[in-house]
Chain A
Amino acid sequence: MNKWTRRTVIATGGLVGGGLALGVAGIAFAPNRLRVTPDNREGTPQLTTWVKIGADNTVSVIIPHCEMGTGVHTALAMMCAEELDADWNLVRIEEAPGTDDYANGYLVRTFVPVVAAVPKYMERGIDFWTFKLTQMMDLQVTGGSSAVRGTGHLGMRLAGAGAKAMLVEAAAKQWNVPVAECTAKLSKVTHAGSGRTATYGELAPQAALLKPPVHPQLKSRDDYTIVGKPTPRIDIPSKVNGSATYGVDVALPEMLYATIAASPVFGAKLVSVDTAPAEALPGVKKVVKLDNAVAVVADGYWRALKGVRALAPKFEDTGKGAETSDTIYAAIGAALDGEKSDKLHSAGKGAGALQGAAKVVEAEYRVPFLAHATMEPMNATARIADGKCEVWTGTQDPLSARKTASEASGLKPEQVTIHNQQLGGGFGRRLPGVMDYIDQAVRIAKETSPAPVKLIWSREEDIQHDFYRPAVVGRFKAALADGGQPAAWVSKFNIKDAAALLPYAIEHQDIRAVEAPTHVRIGAWRSVAHTQHGFFTESFVDELAHAAGKDPLQYRRDLLAHAPRHLAVLDKAAEMAGWSTPPAAGRGRGIALVESFGSIVAEVAEVEIVDGRVKVHRVCAAVDCGDVINPDTATAQVEGGIVFGLSAAMFNEVTIDGGRVAQSNFHDLPMPKLADAPSISVEFIRSGAALGGLGEPGVPPVAPAIANAVFALTGKRVRSLPVRV
């Protein structure tokens, strides 16, 4: 096992009860996070946690995140290489293994404000203890649009700068000259006075023996040569010739194949199944009964699938078999009608400000459950042999996958190895807490041991056993002042999330949440609660603007005098879309603004009604995420976010019937295709504010921008999704 190397000062005894014990000693004497490197690092010298430099002068940046298409491997390597002053042509990436050394403490620092920006003297302690905390929680997560602003900004830059300082120090020592006289550039250290140079590869063995600095000097933004320039993604060439491998492509000697049918009604356990019809089929090796599912193992996927289809498993009656979308919405409605609610935010006189108001506007909005439907269906390959469990899969958190496999196999985490693969889409479906496919694969592998088994879900299983974006109802009331501006804003939902808070200056506010749990499994869907709240808030503001007889852009502007970044983004999107000139005849425009994951995004959609359906011709997006690391990839993330948002706005609806999901494949859960994709323009405002995320923030403004455009065109207000006219 790996251990802490060169750990000299303090043992890891400061953790109490899973919390952070940040005493003075913990802050001042915590080990340096940059020094956490595996013990058994023979061969290539490792300078800091994430940097290895080979004798051939190649730099390997060890990336503790998965690649699911967001370009994070490339962006993080760029951030590290920039500070390292490496020659980009010599930079390689390696995905970090799912081991404790690569737990993602920066996730905590990204989402917990109190540890986000701390005084310099506390950095080392905060870095180390957040790292230990995420280690204990098995978090090595790629999610929450956090990789660049967390791991990249707080970790990779320092790892690069630290490694550079070590290389320069090694050169200075070797040449017996002052450190200050040596400079690093393009993977070489030079001493100008004597004209001596050495490559990083030559210096690395000595540099690796030095102590990494705690506060290495970071470069000025003006001196960047890599970050901020469009850089081709490292993973793309393998994705155009079929050579990229995903979890579903894993092949092992003696491997068997399995597919599965879990209880269609969530939460029901398997009661019985006659295994004979499957066992009688050619190639079927075994029928495996799990707690709430039955799996068939065969010598190929097709034969396993035929086996599963031959079975008629009986699942217990949990009393949920009569639930439908209607009963669920009725239950949500009853909860919203009830007296009990939790306050998310209040200001001024709260709901009291509605009383006696001259004009009150009310609306109720609704969004359905949604499936992730990643193009690569859920799958995992597991092998249990020789007291070890190995799992090959694509996951957004290998540490959590390790924990899942450990629990399912009964083996200790250190007996489990996760071989993470590229992900054929994540969007939240491959996060911690929702790894049922890994649990199942390991349990099936116990039955096939020592032979490995690849579990592949059918698309039907994938759509019917997702962890869905919650169905949410939002109720809104606003009082308009004489000038038409909102004086009071009162809202209530069945989802408790800060995404309900407003960017707008409104004096009296009362924002509440109720609980209305259902038996449907729910999870994080790209941009999480911002997709629902973005639609609700931005639709309702639009309704208020129209009720006040004001232009929706100007109405928002008047409420954002305190928020110059929001204003700039709004103005930029409006300018891109030509807001000041009317759209062509038969077309309508709508605007929406949502801040999420640290980034502010405004989008303008232009729509037309074609053959009784809404056609979205164009979406213009303005984005302030502080700064941009890899501009073309950043643009691609917003483009993709817009199409993902389009799927929710116009196409997808998961409904419940008979307690189970009614949809089963892309014929009844249709997705936008090329013909449906709007023309998209994206511009970034480089405000220099703290970095925001980009994987998700493009999504939330899409639906309200489209809905508002439909209203502008037809006068019909869209209050539920998907949009139907």
Chain B
Amino acid sequence: MQITLDVNGESRTADVDEDTPLLWALRESLGLTGTKFGCGVAQCGACTVHVNGSAVRSCSVPAAAMQGQKITTIEGLAPKEQPHKLQAAWVAHQVPQCGYCQSGMIMAAAALLARNPKPSDAEIDAEVTNICRCGTYERVRRAIHAVAQGPTEGGAP
């Protein structure tokens, strides 16, 4: 079926099955490969995108059901020349290792900060439940706090 998605501020069409997860529509139909496939069952968070500003695990929602919703992927989080504060903090704190989970990690953190600009450790723990096999967690936490507490060195406003 032909569907129309609002992705990163653009109207895009994709030919998918009724049950095709948003993840595969983004990656294969729209070529937005920054959103990653990790588990397919909403356990790991590598596929996290924003739907109307909230973090959603795109492997487990049908693309067809996302029509009319405002979808943002890592590619659309911020313009390249003016990265999101979290992206700048991720570089400043040298967070990623293999990097595969980091799109989802950043999207989860961005959704959290948009709603709760100064989260506690417990709130971060509860909201950012993505899996990182390289074990970058401490730096993830540090980078989130750095953004919550003010301007990051080298980061865009």
Contacts and interface: CB of A to CB of B under 8 A. Distances in A.
A150 B34 CA distance: 33
B135 A68 contact: no
Contacts of B98: 68-69, 374-376, 422-426
Interface stretch (A172-180, A232-240, A385-393, A475-483): A232-240
A303 B29 CA distance: 13
Interface string B5-28: 000000000001101110010011
B127 to A, nearest CB: 9
A646 B125 CA distance: 17
B133 A374 contact: yes
Interface in A666-681: 666-667, 671-675, 677, 679-680
Interface string B25-50: 00111011111111111011010000
A636 B129 contact: no
A241 B43 contact: no
Contacts of B129: 673-675
Given A240-B91, A257-B28, A424 B100 contact: yes
A235 to B, nearest CB: 7
Contacts of B90: 236, 239-240
Contacts of A251: 31, 33
Contact of A677 (B24, B31, B137): B137
A312 B40 CA distance: 21
Interface stretch (A40-48, A242-250, A331-339): A242-250
B82 to A, nearest CB: 11
A376 B100 contact: yes
B147 interface: no
Contact of B132 (A238, A375, A665): A375
A640 interface: yes
Interface centre among B37, B40, B100, B131 (most CB of A within 10 A): B100
A633 B95 CA distance: 10
Interface in A64-100: 68-71
A456 interface: yes
A70 to B, nearest CB: 7
Interface in B53-76: 73-75
Interface string A677-692: 1011000000000000
A643 interface: yes
Given A242-B34, A302-B24, A671 B75 contact: no
A643 to B, nearest CB: 3
A232 B91 contact: yes
A240 B106 contact: yes
B34 A243 contact: yes
Contacts of B83: 240-241
A165 interface: no
B99 interface: yes
Given A69-B97, A300-B24, A424-B100, A644 B137 contact: no
A459 B38 contact: yes
Contact of B103 (A242, A640, A643): A242
B103 A375 contact: no
Interface centre among A240, A647, A675, A679 (most CB of B within 10 A): A240
A78 to B, nearest CB: 14
A303 B20 CA distance: 8
Interface in B63-115: 73-75, 77, 80, 83, 87, 90-91, 94-103, 106
Nearest to A668: B43
Nearest to B98: A69
A636 B41 contact: no
B124 A674 contact: yes
Contact of B135 (A248, A257, A456, A643): A643
B156 interface: no
Interface centre among B17, B21, B98 (most CB of A within 10 A): B98
B41 A667 contact: yes
B96 A239 contact: yes
A242 B33 contact: yes
Contact of B99 (A422, A642, A673): A422
Nearest to B77: A241
A313 interface: no
B96 A236 contact: yes
B146 interface: no
A248 B43 contact: no
A376 B36 contact: yes
Nearest to A671: B131
B156 to A, nearest CB: 12
A674 B133 contact: no
B125 to A, nearest CB: 4
Interface in A308-361: none
A623 to B, nearest CB: 15
21 contacts: A232-B94, A236-B96, A239-B96, A240-B87, A242-B34, A246-B36, A248-B37, A251-B31, A257-B28, A301-B28, A302-B20, A375-B36, A375-B44, A376-B38, A376-B100, A422-B98, A632-B94, A643-B135, A665-B40, A673-B131, A677-B141
For the complex of A and B, 4 pairs with smallest distance between CB atoms: A242-B34, A643-B135, A424-B100, A239-B99
Interface of A: 68-71, 232-233, 235-246, 248-249, 251, 257, 282-283, 300-303, 306, 373-377, 422-427, 456, 458-459, 632-633, 636, 639-644, 646-647, 665-667, 671-675, 677, 679-680
Given A242-B32, A640-B135, A665-B43, 14 more contacts: A240-B95, A245-B33, A246-B100, A283-B17, A301-B24, A374-B100, A374-B133, A375-B131, A423-B98, A425-B133, A632-B94, A636-B139, A639-B138, A674-B129
